[in-house]
Chains A and B, each alone.
Chain A
Amino acid sequence: AQSVTQLDSHVSVSEGTPVLLRCNYSSSYSPSLFWYVQHPNKGLQLLLKYTSAATLVKGINGFEAEFKKSETSFHLTKPSAHMSDAAEYFCVVSDGKELTGGGNKLTFGTGTQLKVEL
């Protein structure tokens, strides 16, 4: 079984200040972890992914995340927030098990709404 906990439902930062979105996971297997971003009335865009290579993962738009197995965490950070970063962010885990017949099942966190203020 796998699960994801996003510790904050809402985060508010000022433009130009650091962003930290927290995520803890639980998985019976070596997990693959992802962060997705969703702007209003849009689909989900992949920000970055961890698949058992380097523990510090760099993504698009200046975001990065660090996989910490001992803490079962995969927090998302960005050094300097921009107004365009305001969106919903989902932490997602895949336990790596292939579904019978192919494909894989993702488990989503409940999401963190990021607000960026001037």
Chain B
Amino acid sequence: DTEVTQTPKHLVMGMTNKKSLKCEQHMGHRAMYWYKQKAKKPPELMFVYSYEKLSINESVPSRFSPECPNSSLLNLHLHALQPEDSALYLCASSQGRGPYEQYFGPGTRLTVT
């Protein structure tokens, strides 16, 4: 099974709201990723977790706060977002070591009003 699941599929939030995106995989992968994708553009890496520790933060604003409660789960907490943060947020996972391919979830379409 090469499935990564993400919830919710769609999210509309105001600039003062707090919400969370959730990602789950059961492939035994030890690296998990958050990407942001704007329309007609490739995904941009935001965060990398490896063995449940934050490995990379690509200078993402603090209004995005990642969390990895265990090896199967990855959350992205959102607070005080701006309209320009509206995008498709993709989660991915890969085996922890080596140049392995990443498996992507279907994404959460976020709209900030």
Q: How many residues of B contact A (CB 8 A)?
A: 36
User: Contacting B33 at CB < 8 Å: which of A34, A49, A103?
Assistant: A103
Q: How large is the interface on A (under 10, 10 to 19, 20 to 34, 35 or more residues)?
A: 20 to 34
Evaluate contact between A109 and B42: CB separation under 8 angstroms.
yes
User: In the complex the two chains form, is B42's CB within 8 Å of A110's CB?
Assistant: yes
> Considering the complex, which residues of chain A in the window 90-104 have a beta carbon less than 8 Å from any beta carbon of chain B?
90, 94-104
- Whether the pair B103, A104 counts as a contact (CB closer than 8 A) is no
CA of A42 to CA of B92, assembled, Å: 13
Chain B residues with CB under 8 Å of A41's CB are 88, 107, 109
Contacts known (A104-B31, A104-B98, A110-B42); A99 close to B104, Cβ less than 8 A: no
> Which residue on chain B has the smallest CB distance to residue A9?
B40
- A31, A49, A94, A99: which contacts B56 (Cβ < 8 A)? A99
Q: Are A94 and B99 in contact (CB under 8 A)?
A: yes
Docked complex Cα distance between A96 and B65 (Å) = 28
- Known contacts: A103-B96, A108-B42. The answer to whether A46 contacts B103 by CB under 8 A is yes
- Kindly state whether residue B45 has any CB partner on chain A within 8 Å: yes
Write the chain A residue with the least CB distance to B58. Answer: A105
- Give Cα distance in the complex from A96 to B94, angstroms: 13
Given contacts A32-B99, A51-B99, A90-B42, contact A102 B107 (CB under 8 A): no
Q: Which of A44, A109, A110 neighbours the largest number of chain B CB atoms within 10 Å of its CB?
A: A44
Take A43-B104, A43-B107 as given contacts and tell me if A102 and B42 are in contact as well, using a CB distance cutoff of 8 Å. no
Residue B53 at the A interface, CB < 8 A?
yes
Distance (whole angstroms) from the CB of B101 to the closest CB of chain A? 5
CB of A72 within 8 A of chain B? no
Q: Which residues of chain A from 1 to 58 have a CB within 8 Å of any chain B CB?
A: 31-32, 34, 36, 41-46, 49, 51
- Docked complex Cα distance between A105 and B31 (Å): 11
Residues of B near A96 (CB, < 8 A) are: 98-99
Closest beta carbon of chain B to A106's beta carbon, Å: 6
Give chain A's interface residues, CB within 8 Å of chain B. Answer: 31-32, 34, 36, 41-46, 49, 51, 90, 94-106, 108-111
Q: Which 9 A-B pairs have the closest CB atoms?
A: A102-B50, A103-B31, A108-B42, A101-B55, A96-B99, A32-B99, A43-B104, A44-B104, A43-B106
